[in-house]
Every structure is written in structure tokens, then in C-alpha cells.
Amino acid sequence: MNTKIKYSDEPLGDIKVLRDFLPSPAELAFSEESVKVTISLSKKSVEFFKTEASKYHTQYQRMIRQLLDSYADVQSGQQTTRSPGRTKKLRAG
């Protein structure tokens, strides 16, 4: 960014106040009990998750954990939907 920003004193126009839609800090501090395990995965699987994780700016281990959690939820009759900082459990039906 070598270009210099030029500011003006122009009117902003119509301003609309939005309701607070951001999650609270408590909702962002998602934590779930976890257990450390040692597992050997195929090189192609790990490379796949590393590549995909870099596209979404996240950790590949987190993606694998969420995949396994989703699988376990479906197999146990529950479906979990996750958005940043929030978890909702839905009954399969």
C-alpha cells in the first residue's frame, strides 16, 4: 500500500443505526471437553486438510475434529450445526 489515502469532508448521506447483532464474548468462548489422542492418518488426508484449512484460515486439526464430531452426532441421532462461537444441537427427524 504505497498510495496515499485522500480524505474528504463530504457529507455521509443517510445513516441507518443497526441493532447489535454480534455474539457476546461468552458465546465466542466456545469450549468443549476434549481428550488428547494419538492417531496415524494417511499423508493424503493430512495434506488435504492442511490445504483446505489454509483456504479458510483455520487449523487443520480443528477441521478434522469437527468432521469427527459431525459424524458422531449423525450416527448417534443428533445433528450439530456450528457457526463462529455458537453450537446448536438439532434432533434428526
Q: What is the mean pLDDT of each run of 10 residues along the chain (93 residues)?
A: 83 86 75 89 96 94 91 81 49 46
CA of 31: how far to CAs of 39, 67, 74, 91, in Å? 22, 16, 20, 21
Residue 19 domain flag? no
60, 45 contact by CB (below 8 A): no
Report the pLDDT value the prediction gives residue 50, as an integer from 0 to 100: 96
Residue 81 domain flag? yes
Report the pLDDT value the prediction gives residue 59, as an integer from 0 to 100: 93
Domain that residue 77 falls in? 39-91
Report the pLDDT value the prediction gives residue 79, as an integer from 0 to 100: 59
Report the pLDDT value the prediction gives residue 93, as an integer from 0 to 100: 45
pTM above 0.85, yes or no: no
Alpha-helical (H) ranges within 3-87 are: 25-28, 43-55, 60-75
Report the pLDDT value the prediction gives residue 40, as an integer from 0 to 100: 97
Residue 16 domain flag? no
Q: How many domains does the chain have?
A: 1
